[in-house]
Chain A
């Protein structure tokens, strides 16, 4: 029961090893890619509970050769993805990386990831702080 609770906490919070509790990452997940897909996306909610603004500048992951911060926007009915150099998270706010909006885009690894797999991301912020995030691969609409 105890281990179940622990894994449940880990699963739903995905909150790990914050250098500073002011930055919290919740609900990190990677969309399971269909066979043959060359690109994948990851999503999470970034919460800044601190009193100073933070800016996400760089993301890396041992599972992917490249991680890009993108935003999908629909302008006049046309869907576009635009590259984001950084993502500001003002003090006391949260920013959701979610389908149809901000997301991480990664080239799919040769070994296909499956629902339930765990993937690590390292987020680096402008002030030098790093946050390690465990994301779960999920099949989700």
Chain B
């Protein structure tokens, strides 16, 4: 009789070891049920070097879509992301440190030179990406990021309406999670750790 129990127990142990980790409960972020693979794109970073889907891989990346002529929402979001980075700084787990990538939705005015001047103010490691408007459109469409010009005081003083969400790419370069507004640096940092642990456990 006892002999029958042992294989059953073994089976139960094996099954529990195989059951997939449960998705974390997030405070602010929305985790995609399945990471979304993004089509390749050809853009340029703030140093004039190519920035493609391949550059997105290898590290966790927080992506924000804005423009440097934006005086209120964009500096607030970039400062907030700088705070998130500071909160995650003590975590020395290999490969754990994310980076911030600022994608311009105003490539006509945001040249690599402008981004190279603008971004280090928030954090010297922030990456700026700009380039062909069609390529930016193609990328943002896959992420549900919307933007469009709206008239300003004069023709060259136009404003750009844009999604305020922050996108999280995993180290495979896939769209993994989304953070809507209002953004809180503590919650985003904590959610990031939960998402990263879940990702590591699911591999």
Chain A binding surface, main DSSP class: strand
Say yes or no for A129: interface residue by CB 8 A criterion: no
Chain B binding surface, main DSSP class: mixed
Q: Which of B130-165 contact A (CB under 8 A)?
A: 146-147, 150, 153, 157, 159, 161-165
Q: Which of B83-112 contact A (CB under 8 A)?
A: 83, 109
Check B119 against A34 for contact (C-beta < 8 Å). yes
Q: CA–CA, A100 to B150, complex, Å?
A: 18
Check A80 against B161 for contact (C-beta < 8 Å). yes
Given contact pairs A31-B75, A77-B180, A79-B181, a sample of 11 additional A-B residue pairs in the complex whose CB atoms are under 8 Å apart: A34-B122, A36-B68, A37-B71, A38-B69, A66-B153, A78-B163, A78-B164, A80-B159, A83-B153, A99-B73, A140-B79
Check B118 against A36 for contact (C-beta < 8 Å). yes
Contact of B146 among A72, A78, A103, A106 (CB under 8 A): A78
The size of the chain B interface, using a CB distance under 8 A, is 33
Task: Give the contact-size bracket for chain A.
Answer: 20 to 34
Known: A77-B180, A78-B164. A35 touches B72 (CB 8 A): no
Say yes or no for B16: interface residue by CB 8 A criterion: no
Say yes or no for A105: interface residue by CB 8 A criterion: yes
Contact of B163 among A77, A105, A141 (CB under 8 A): A77
